[in-house]
Amino acid sequence: MPATRPVRSYVIRSGRITGGQRRALERHSEKYVVRFEPGPLAIERLFPSEQPLTVEIGFGSGESLLQMAREQPGTNFLGIDVYQPGAGRVLQGIVEHGLGNIRLICHDAVEVFRDNLAEESIDRVLILFPDPWPRKRHHKRRLVRDGFMQLVLSRLKPGGEVHLATDWPPYLESMMAVMDAIPGFRNRFGEGCWEDPARPITRFELRGRRLGHEVRDLLYCKAPS
């Protein structure tokens, strides 16, 4: 029988890649892009210095990832996305600003968490504006679902945090239902949202606000064992 195809939380976008982004991928991927291979990653060998680790899932065009890395030099950032123009843009920014605290993996985040990241190795996970997959028959594609968030929980250090954001109210409700049902997570703000989130404004967020969408953030932490 043929193998069951995995359910992906994304589709690979065929956005136009510029010449500069293509050159950045060709010239700098070896240093800054981690090739996916099943097996544990030695995170401490990826970065020049050992620092708290933030993992951003779905960095998109990369502006917010670059801004955070510039503003937080004492934190290492691992960005996960399959969007090649975005990866090229981030590589351009890394070189332009001389950033040593960013590495990228251009692969499915579920497999990266499952196969590459060790238990209790991450300080913070960012999932900002994931695809809401609004049609009911596509809800199984949503990234924030029980199985994956249980996996994320296992990779967080005690006290580690998950920062979520969306501009789709039904997905906000779904996110809260998923996170509140996992005993190891605790909402930093009781039963509510994070009203003044500490993060850059993303290009996606600006587009949503222009359309009148209400952006909401959530912050959950891993309860100490």
Active site (annotated) includes residue 115: no
Asked whether 21 and 89 are in contact (CB, 8 A), the reply is: yes
Domain limits of the chain? 31-36+48-222
Q: What is the pTM of this model?
A: 0.90
- The gap from C-alpha 39 to its chain's centroid, in whole angstroms, comes to 20
The Cα 77–Cα 99 span in angstroms is 10
Tens-place pLDDT, residues 66-84: 999 999 999 999 999 999 9
The percentage of the chain sitting over the pLDDT mark of 90, rounded to a whole number, equals 76
Q: What is the pLDDT of residue 10?
A: 45
- The second-level CATH assignment, the architecture, of 31-36+48-222 is 3-Layer(aba) Sandwich (3.40)
Asked whether 193 and 203 are in contact (CB, 8 A), the reply is: no
Query: Among the options 131, 146, 167, 217, which is catalytic?
Result: 131
Q: Which of 106-110, 175-179, 209-213 has the lowest mean pLDDT?
A: 209-213
Please check the confidence at residue 127 and state whether its pLDDT lies above 50: yes
Indicate the burial class of 145 (C-beta count within 10 angstroms; 0-12, 13-18, 19 or more). Answer: middle
